[in-house]
Structure 1
C-alpha cells in the first residue's frame, strides 16, 4: 500500500512566494530597461527586452513593492515626493512600502534596510528601573542587569517625537527613558503623586504630557519634565486602556472596568471629562479599546461582547455578543478602511467587523456583516490558542497575528491564514511591525524576540531580549523597544 508523501504547507507557501517574487522582479527589470532606453522613466507599463533588464536590475536594485500594489492614481500622486517625518508614523511609512516604479527617496528606503539587517548592538541598550533608587546620602544605586526585578512591566508608550518612552510597572510607578541610549529620565511616582496600585495603561498626549491609568481607578496627568501630576477621577473602576485621540489636540480616552469610556479634554488647566455609557444596560468590564481617525471606536469586554462608540457625539451606538466566547484582548482599526475593525480574543479567534452594517442580528448571538477565523490550534489542549498580538501591515491585504506562532492573515480571503512564520519555541506574548510593514517583531514567553521578513516569509534574526516574557514592544523609525516580566527595557538601535 503506497502512501502519498506529506507536504509541509509552510515550505510550500515559501516556495510559492519566492517563485512569484522572482517573476515579479524579472518583470520590473524589463520595464526599467525599456524605460531607460526610451529616456522616459515614468512609462513603466511598456514591455521590453530581457537581457538589458537583467543587467539593469543587478546594477541598480530597488526595494520590491507588495504583491498587490495600490491603484495607479495613488502611485502617480506620490511619485517623486519626499515624505516628511510626520508621514512616517510608528512602525514605518506606508508610502515607502508602496514604492512601485522608482518614486522612492533615500529616506523611504532607509527604514526597510535598517530593520532587515538587524540591530547595531545585538545585546541592546538596557534601562533598569532600579537606577532611580537612592541611598541615604542621595546618590543613586546603579544595579547591574544580572539582578532580576520584582516589578514586571505592565504597559508601554512612545512619545510623538519618538525621543522618549514610558513604561508602566506593577510597583505603582511609571518610568521614562530616552529611546536613543536608554538613559533614565523620570520616575513618575512620589509620596504625594501617583497611583496606589498597578499602573495598567499609559499614553502620550500630542503635547508630550503623559497620562497613566491604574487599577486604583485613577488617571494621572503628569506635567512635562517633572514628577507632579493632576489626579483625574472618572468613577469608572480600574482603568484598562488609555488612548490619545488627536495629533494636534490634547484629548484622550480611557476604558474602564465598569463598562464605560471617558473622554478627557486636557486643553485647559481644569481637565474636562465626558463619560459615555451604554444607555440600555451597563456593559461588562472593557479589556480592549481602539479608535480610527474619525473617532469611531470599538471596544471589547471580558466576556466577548463588542461595542461601537461614537466619541464625537458621546454615544455608545451598538453592542453585540456571539462572535467571541471569551475575553477580547485587542481591537484594531483597518489602516485604509475607516469602517472596518478587527478583534482578537483568548478564544483564539480573530474577528472582522464592518461597522456600516448591524453588529447583531435578530436571531440572537449571531453577528451580521462580520467574519472570523481561528489561525492557531493548540494540539496539546485540543483547542484554539489565545491571540496575544494583532497588527496591521500597512498594506491592503495582510494582518499579522500572534498565538502559538506568528501567522499572516489575508483580508481578501475572509482572514484565511496565508502563511505561518516559525522561529519560536514558546507561545507569542507581544507583536509589532517596523520598516513600513516589511518586518514583524514577535516577543515570546521565554523572552526571545524574532524578526520576520514579511515579504520573503522567513525569520531573519533573533534576540534574547528578556529573562522572562517579552510582554510589550514598540517601534520607532529606527528603534525597537522591548520590556516584559523582568521589569527591564531594552532599546535596539537600527540606525
Structure 2
C-alpha cells in the first residue's frame, strides 16, 4: 500500500489497481480512483499530491496516472519500461519525478503532461529517491546511491557502501528536521542524506565530500524500512528514527 497526505485529504493506492481518497476528519471515502476506462491495470505502487489538488500515481503497469482534482478522470503519462517504484511532485512548481525498474529517473511537466527529462546510469532497478531543492538522490537494488543535478538532469556522483538494495532514504535539510510537511523540491540546499538498506545499516552521506560520514548497524539481519527525523524532540541535532521489518524502532 502507498499513501499521500494533503491537508485533510489522504489518498491510498493498493494491489487492487485502484486508489481511494479519504476525508481524514470523518474517515469517509470521497472518491474511488479507478474505472474501466481510467486508471491502472496493475498494483498501484506510489502516489503523491500535486500542489493544485491533482493526484499523481504510479503502478506496476509502468505508467503514471495524473488524476483531476475532482471526478474520476486521469491522463496517462507514458515513458517508463518497467514498474514504477516512486513518484514525487514538486512543492511549488508543476513538476514531478518518477523512478522505475527500468533503471531510469524521469521528470514530467504536469502542465503539458509530457516527459521533460530522463536520467540514466543505474545498473539495477531504482527502489527509491529523494528530491530536495535542485538535488535528487536515487537508490537501487544493487545498494548504490546516485546523486543528480535536477536542473540539468546530470549525474554528479555514485555512493557505494550498502550490501543489499536501498529500502529507505531521507534528505537531512533544516525543513525535514523541523516540519512534518517537507515536500519534494523544498527545504533548501541539501548536503547530508540518510539511507537505509536490506543489510540493516543506516548510512549518513556528505554530498559535498561524496563520503559516507557515519554508519549505524541498526538492525543486523533485518532490512531498514523507514528513516525519519525525530521531529520536535531533537530538532536538527542529527537524530533519526529507524523502523525495521520485525516491527521494532531504534
What range describes the TM-score normalised by the shorter chain of this pair?
Answer: 0.7 to 0.9
1:357 and 2:204 aligned = no
Q: How does 1:195-274 map to 2 (within 5 A)?
A: 195-246=40-91, 248-267=92-111, 270-274=112-116
Residue aligned with 1:221, SS:
strand
Q: Deviations over 1:427-452 (max 9, x none)?
A: 228xxxxxxxxxxxx7xxxxxxxxxx
Q: Is the 8 A contact 1:234 1:275 kept in 2?
A: no
For 1:428, the equivalent position in structure 2 comes to 247
Larger radius of gyration: 1
1:19-39 residue CA offsets vs partner (Å, 9 max, x unmatched): xxxxxxxxxxxxxxxxxxxxx
Tell whether the 8 Å contact from 1:210 to 1:223 is kept in structure 2 after alignment: yes
CA RMSD of aligned residues (A): 1.8
Q: Deviations over 1:400-459 (max 9, x none)?
A: 11126xxxxxxxxxxxxxxxxxxxxxx228xxxxxxxxxxxx7xxxxxxxxxxxxxx9xx
* Residue 179, structure 1, aligned to residue 24, structure 2: yes
**Corresponding residue for 1:340?**
192
Deviation (angstroms), 1:393: 2.1
Between the aligned partners of 1:351 and 1:376, the Cα distance in structure 2 is 12
Q: Deviations over 1:172-215 (max 9, x none)?
A: 00110101011111111101110110000000011110000000
Question: 1: distance between equivalents of 2:227 and 2:49?
Answer: 21
Q: Does 1:166 align with 2:11?
A: yes
Q: SS of 2:199's equivalent? A: coil
Distance 1:282 1:332, change over 3 A: closer
The answer to whether the Cα contact below 8 Å between 1:276 and 1:316 also exists between their aligned partners in 2 is no
After superposing on structure 2, the runs of 4+ consecutive aligned residues of structure 1 that deviate more than 2 Å are 274-278, 368-371
Q: Counterparts in 2 of 1:42-191, with a 5 A limit?
A: 154-159=1-6, 162-191=7-36
**Cα distance in 1 between the residues matched to 2:55 and 2:88:** 11
1:297 aligns with 2:142: no
Paired residue secondary structure (1:157): strand
CA distance in 1, matches of 2:41, 2:148: 30
Could you say which residue in structure 2 is the equivalent of 1:275? 117
- Work out the number of aligned pairs and report it: 232
Say whether 1:388 aligns with 2:225: yes
TM value normalised by structure 1: 0.45
TM-score (norm 2): 0.87
> 1:290 and 1:338 mapped to 2: Cα distance?
11
Which whole-Å CA distance do the structure 2 matches of 1:296 and 1:282 have between them?
16
Structure 2: give runs of 5+ residues left out of the alignment. Answer: 175-188
Give the conservation status (yes or no) of the 8 Å contact 1:173–1:199: yes
| Larger relative contact order (CA 8 Å, sep ≥ 6) | 1
